[in-house]
Structure 1
Amino acid sequence: MFLRVASAAAAAMILTAAPAAAQDKFPTREVRLIVPWNAGGSNDIAARKLAPILAENGINIIVDNVPGGTGTIGMGRVASAAPDGYTLGMGTSSTLSMIAQGKTPLRNEQFSGIARISSDPLMLLVHTDGPKDIDAFVAKMKANPGKVTIGTPGSYNINHIFATMTAKAAGVDYVNVPYPGGAKVIVDLAGGQVDAGVLKPSESISQIKAGQVRPIAVFANERLDVFPDVPTMKEKGFDVFPYGPVVQMAYVVGPANMPPAVRKTLVDAFRKSIQDPRFKAFAAENGVLVDDLTGDALDKEVNDVQKSLNAVATQVFKGKD
């Protein structure tokens, strides 16, 4: 009798343990990666480049483009998702700029860092029929105060900051033309609908090679390896970092309070995929910088960039609605 009871108890334990073990396994289905920008932009391209590599490392993702609000609409969906690891989002410095100015209720504490995808230098580009260099562009702005148009993916973000600082260098006002993503900016710039655009190399390299647009300056302290002949704003005597350095970056996060084991699985898979030679080659070809920043270290970096933007963005956009 005792043996039958013991056997029954053991069987019950096995049956109850099996579902628990199944629940602990992650992932058991596809993971949704929200890219809060239009398809065809640099963040979307990077996500889709990573997707097959991630699949080899155990994470099958579905890229979901949710543009709007300079990234805040899509990231809002991530913040409110269940913290089970099945909904992730691609945060950017643009959304951090919106947080800095109080233009969104989002807060960095609502997210758990997974991995930084890229750090992206930004460039000022014109149509191939436009000014030949940054000096000529500044001269054009001075000759047409308040009329020159500069397209940016979103508004009140780092792209917008650099467009504004370019106008400050010329000592005149300009017209900012915000778009829901870099892909839209480059189309209108190539079509001559705007005078210039502030974009990443990865968003514009195809049109540059096709001779439709031309980069005339880099918003960085050093020239880019992919465009060694394009000068920096600094070397041309224009200070675009008067309130402190800022960096444009893209990174993957999940909702706050994810189970540690789930977060570790995601961190490990994304780290391995980002360090994969195929993704590194893609990054180099597109002027994208990649590193090995994940988990808590990424959270710290995001908070540090946020502090910088809290000072920079509010100074640049002081008095603007």
Structure 2
Amino acid sequence: MPRNSLVFAVAFAAALAMPGVAAAQSSPSGFPTRDITFIVPWNPGGSNDVMARQLQPLLKEQGIGLIIENIVGANGAIGLRRVAWSDPDGYTLGMGTSSTLAAIAQGKAQLRNDQFTHLVRVSTDPLLLEVPGKSQHQPLEAFLAHMKKNPGKVSIGTPGTYNVNHIFAAMTARAAGTTYVNVPYTGGSKVIADLLGGHLDAGVLKPSESIGQIQEGLVKPIAVFADTRLEQFPDVPTFKEKGHDIFPYGPVVQMAYVVGPANLPPAIRERITTAFRKAIQDPRFKTFAKENSFLVDDLTGDALAKEVDAVTASLREVGAQVFKDQP
């Protein structure tokens, strides 16, 4: 064998022995050959950011590296717009949520569901009404009485506007038979910060973005926006058991899921879906889910796309009723 050919053969064999190259060779279409940008369209420290970072090392074990970028604003629409407009090569993905679907449903985001490839659902999340740990207005009955005595003055913080959190904040005021001040933020971590600082009377939050503060007694959950109590918080009552219907216009679901731009090639779509499914079903992630009171399932592909459309339709109908008197 000529010397140059021999050198090339040895170099090629050594390259194949490298972990990154071997993973690329065994992946469909050689994907991925570099890290994937994963856009979380909410603040660092919020539930979606925390979940993405929990999945990050589990995906790394499968040869998929994620670079997480937090691009906030407009109920997640700014970050997801970047995903929708990216090349359909699998190297830009993002975290879709019901909050962005609510904005889409009500015509407040320049996005459509068909601009995305829906890959896999990460979580469905209950929501809690939380007050500062030292608040005098607890339990739930005391808080509602406080709202009724102070119409239009009690503040409730929400990550985003015109979304599920905002809907439930409005339903809280409806239960009290009064008006309130909605204070929107670009993520749950901002709501928690102002709860801790005493700048808010309450917040509508996921357990996963406030579990640490709850355990430390810095914030206090006083009600669950659901029909049944949560296993992690057995002493926290539901609105329903206290006689308040927070689903008068139909059910709404808070969920998070992985999306790519429309028209991802089938082989790349399959590679990403398989990897995320394995990470989400990993016992370590399921333990994390249980500890943070969110649910995981195995909804992917076309079934997920149908669920996204159904949730959008529900949010359109419910939002039209809840926000009909707002600009």
Query: In which range does the TM-score fall when normalised by the shorter chain?
Result: over 0.9
CA distance in 2, matches of 1:223, 1:22: 43
Which residue of 2 is the match for residue 38 of structure 1? 43
CA contact (8 A) 2:158 2:183 kept: yes
Which residue of 1 is the match for residue 322 of structure 2? 316
CA contact (8 A) 2:44 2:189 kept: yes
Report SS of the residue matched to 1:235: helix
Which residue of 2 is the match for residue 202 of structure 1? 208
Which residue of 2 is the match for residue 189 of structure 1? 195
1:266 is the counterpart of 2:272: yes
Give the gaps of 5 or more residues in structure 2.
Answer: 1-25
Find the partner of 1:174 among 164, 177, 180. 180
Which residue of 2 is the match for residue 101 of structure 1? 106
Superposition deviation, residue 319 in structure 1 = 2.7
Report SS of the residue matched to 2:31: coil
CA distance in 2, matches of 1:314, 1:80: 29
Find the partner of 1:114 among 106, 111, 119. 119
Aligned residues: 302
Letter of the 2:181 counterpart? V
4+ runs deviating over 2 angstroms: 21-24
Letter of the 2:278 counterpart? K
Give the gaps of 5 or more residues in structure 1.
Answer: 1-20
Superposition deviation, residue 135 in structure 1 = 0.6
Letter of the 2:257 counterpart? Y
CA contact (8 A) 1:58 1:269 kept: no
CA distance in 1, matches of 2:30, 2:211: 41
Q: How does 1:72-221 map to 2 (within 5 A)?
A: 72-130=77-135, 131-221=137-227
RMSD: 1.4
CA contact (8 A) 1:202 1:288 kept: yes
User: Cα deviation per residue 1:174-203 (whole Å; 9 max; x = unaligned)?
Assistant: 000001100010111012110000000011
CA contact (8 A) 2:35 2:65 kept: yes
Report SS of the residue matched to 1:214: strand
CA distance in 2, matches of 1:79, 1:49: 24
Which residue of 2 is the match for residue 4 of structure 1? none
Letter of the 2:270 counterpart? K
Superposition deviation, residue 97 in structure 1 = 0.5
Report SS of the residue matched to 2:293: coil
Superposition deviation, residue 320 in structure 1 = 1.1
Change (3 A) 1:149 1:61: same
CA distance in 2, matches of 1:285, 1:275: 15
- Normalised by the length of structure 1, the TM-score is 0.92
CA distance in 2, matches of 1:22, 1:43: 27
CA distance in 2, matches of 1:257, 1:67: 25
CA distance in 2, matches of 1:241, 1:82: 40
- Normalised by the length of structure 2, the TM-score is 0.90
